[in-house]
Structures are given as structure tokens and as C-alpha cells.
Structure 1
Amino acid sequence: MKANEFDTKFDNGDDILGDLDLSKVKRPMQSQKRVNVDFPTWMLESLDREAHRVGVTRQSIIKVWLAERLESAAANHSIN
């Protein structure tokens, strides 16, 4: 498939996943390392409630919130 055909298909909202080779896809800067963190019970209960409300796992809400906080801190640091 030529690039302009692919672009047209994408722009039209057609499904392009079948046209991609995803076998070697990597997400840069996304390697993972397991860590253990102890949280107070009240914090876990609050995290679980919010995760349930949003419809994600506890781990997902923790990662999203940490990412938001780190991005905010980096943005504030670059401004100053």
C-alpha cells in the first residue's frame, strides 16, 4: 500500500490496524520496573473507590496520577 492510500484510509476513519506490522512495536521510554510501595489502608480504600468510579484498576489510577504530577512538576520547573 502506498503512503497516500494509507493516509486517505486513516483520514477517512477506516480501520488501519490490519495494514500495520505490530510484531516489533516498542514504546520508547516505557520499560517497566516493579516496585513495592506501602500505603495506609485509608489511602488504598480511597484509591480503590476512585479507580472503580473511573473504571480502571488501582495500579492504573496510581500510574496516571503520578504521571500527571510528574508532568506538572516538570512544567513548573521549566517555567522557573
Structure 2
Amino acid sequence: MKASEFDQRFDDGEDMSAVLDTARARRPGEEPRRVNVDFPVWMIAELDREATRLGVTRQSLIKVWIAERLAHGGDSAA
């Protein structure tokens, strides 16, 4: 399909998802970037305990908890 045909069909409101290859698609700004954060020993122990209880890694737990907090936009006070 030529780009002009694709553009015309898209502009006409046609669903173009069937002709797109999304296997390698990425959203901008979602590339991982390494950061270093220092935690006190007691906090690491608590994180590890909770991660083990949930059956996930410490890193996964931290990422989920931070994402949840950011999704709420800081609604609750720390």
C-alpha cells in the first residue's frame, strides 16, 4: 500500500490497525533508564520481605509502587 492510499484511508476514518505492524512499536519516553537509589538496610529488608510474599522481584515491587503513587498524582500526603 502506498503512503498516499494509507493517508487517504486513515483520513476517511477507516480502521488501519490491521495493516500496521506493531510488533516493534514503542511509545516515546518509555525506554528504561537506569537510576541509583540508596535505601537504608531496614527498608531493603522490608522490600525483600514484601517482594517474596508477592512472588516478585524487589525491582518489580519498587517500580509498581512508584507507578501507583505517580498515577494518583500525589493525592495522599506522605
Correspondence 1:2-41 to 2 at 5 A: 22=23, 24-41=24-41
Q: CA RMSD in A?
A: 2.1
Correspondence 1:1-80 to 2 at 5 A: 22=23, 24-72=24-72, 74=73, 76=75
Distance verdict in 2 for CA 1:28–1:54, change over 3 Å: farther
AA in 2 matched with 1:42 = W
Runs (5+) with no aligned partner, structure 2: 1-17
Runs (5+) with no aligned partner, structure 1: 1-5, 7-19
- Say how many residue pairs are matched: 57
Deviation, structure 1 residue 26: 2.1
Deviation, structure 1 residue 28: 4.6
Deviation, structure 1 residue 51: 0.4
Sequence identity (%): 55
TM-score by length of 1: 0.59
CA distance in 2, matches of 1:35, 1:21: 29
Which of structure 1's runs of 4+ aligned residues deviate more than 3 A? Answer: none
CA distance in 1, matches of 2:46, 2:63: 15
